[in-house]
Amino acid sequence: MRISLETAVALLNSGKVVGVPTETVYGLAASIKYPDAIQEIFKLKGRPSNNPLIIHAARFEDIIFFLKEASEDCEPLSKKFWPGPMTLVLPAKRGFIPSIARANLPTAAFRIPNHPLTLELLKLTGPLVMPSANLSGSPSSTKYEHVVSDFGIEFPILDGGICDKGLESTILIRSKEKWKIIRQGALTSEDFEKVLGYRPTIQYKTSAVPICPGQMYRHYAPRATLKLVKSFDNIKKGVIIGFSDRIYPQNCDILTLGHLFEPELAAANLYAILRQLDQEGHQEAYVDINFSPQGILSTLLERLERAANI
């Protein structure tokens, strides 16, 4: 159910969970002051308790308050990309953050989201923990209706329209004097190179033990089976998730992400298309991955591989 900003503030400040828009995806928010509300988030999502949450704040000062060490290392990034779709994992003062939110880790993840309504909300509530507003493992929500579909019409949601980016924030951690990407997202390693002078490596793809717990799980996946393909030569019928500037076999049903030459828009449509697949009751779909995975298309391909359980 749609609620006003005032109602959202009142609910969060009395220990309730609220659906909240961001520029990446919708989140399920609880005040960092209410461990019971944070517990409720895990329950609502069906999320494993060893998968920590991101702490969202309106200002960098609010984040510094939680940090164990001086913040100089993050300043070039925070100045350039906050508010925005970047999350930094930093050593945290444990006593200041409920252990359930950080899954007992000595670090915590922080982000200043870039959505006017949510920045206003955060100024009135203080820091909120927020995972993406979807059932654990399923595609994230990029509009109000998606959150309703997962949590029901009675669930209180602040409607902030369609999410601009449509993909989650990029998560970085500092290790051996360098930043590494532990979850690809709306900002690319090329974006970070411009500020850091080097291209941060993408850690989780190669490591045996992922340092971003969420990357261990099946994720972003519709119920339908996805088959990622580079050629449609042998496909005669079925559903295809593809691009509007491509030609596909005549007897197939096409769900289009948009033009390949507007990759940001195509990426922003991904979760809506994956949800549409299930809504229309399709059992399987072919996905066109015949593109070079550069920039945001690298994140798009990673999400498709996860959604296809590769």
Binding residues for ligand TXA, rule: CB under 6 A, are 22, 24-25, 27, 51-54, 85, 87, 89, 102, 105, 107-109, 111, 113, 130-132, 168-169, 171, 183, 211-215
Residue 31 binds what, of ligand TXA, Mg ion, none (CB under 5 to 8 Å, by partner type)? none
Report helix, strand and coil shares of the chain as percent, to nearest 5. Answer: 30, 20, 50
Binding site for Mg ion (CB under 5 A): 132
- In the complex, least distance from residue 198 CB atom to ligand TXA, rounded to whole angstroms: 21
First-last CA distance in the chain: 36
- In the complex, least distance from residue 89 CB atom to Mg ion, rounded to whole angstroms: 15
- In the complex, least distance from residue 140 CB atom to Mg ion, rounded to whole angstroms: 6
3-state secondary structure of 190: helix
Measured at CB, which residue is nearest to Mg ion?
Answer: 132
Nearest partner of 53 among 68, 38, 75, 36, judged by Cα: 38
- In the complex, least distance from residue 203 CB atom to ligand TXA, rounded to whole angstroms: 10
Residue 9 or 267: which CB sits closer to Mg ion? 267
The pairing of beta strand 238-242 with beta strand 252-256: parallel
Residue 89 or 226: which CB sits closer to ligand TXA? 89
Measured at CB, which residue is nearest to ligand TXA?
Answer: 214
Residue 189 binds what, of ligand TXA, Mg ion, none (CB under 5 to 8 Å, by partner type)? none
C-alpha 286 chain-centroid distance: 24
Residue 78 or 169: which CB sits closer to ligand TXA? 169
Residue 92 or 273: which CB sits closer to ligand TXA? 92
Phi, psi of 297 (to 5 degrees): -70, -20
C-alpha 245/C-alpha 256 separation (Å) is 9
Residue 22 binds what, of Mg ion, ligand TXA, none (CB under 5 to 8 Å, by partner type)? ligand TXA
Residue 184 binds what, of Mg ion, ligand TXA, none (CB under 5 to 8 Å, by partner type)? none
Distant-in-sequence, close-in-space partners of 238: CB < 8 Å, separation ≥ 6:
252, 253, 284, 285, 286
Buried b (16+ CB within 10 A) or exposed e, 110-119: bbbbbbebbb
- In the complex, least distance from residue 132 CB atom to Mg ion, rounded to whole angstroms: 3
- In the complex, least distance from residue 277 CB atom to ligand TXA, rounded to whole angstroms: 20
Residue 93 or 205: which CB sits closer to Mg ion? 205
In the block, which residue shows the tokens 């030459």? Answer: 261
Residue 21 binds what, of Mg ion, ligand TXA, none (CB under 5 to 8 Å, by partner type)? none
Distances (CA, A) of 41 to 96, 175, 273, 297: 19, 30, 25, 31
Residue 183 or 242: which CB sits closer to Mg ion? 183
- In the complex, least distance from residue 98 CB atom to ligand TXA, rounded to whole angstroms: 13
**Two structure tokens written together for 3:** 């609620």
Q: How many residues does the chain have?
A: 310
Residue 53, CB half-sphere, CA atoms under 13 Å: how many? 33
Residue 131 or 222: which CB sits closer to ligand TXA? 131
C-alpha 241/C-alpha 307 separation (Å) is 13
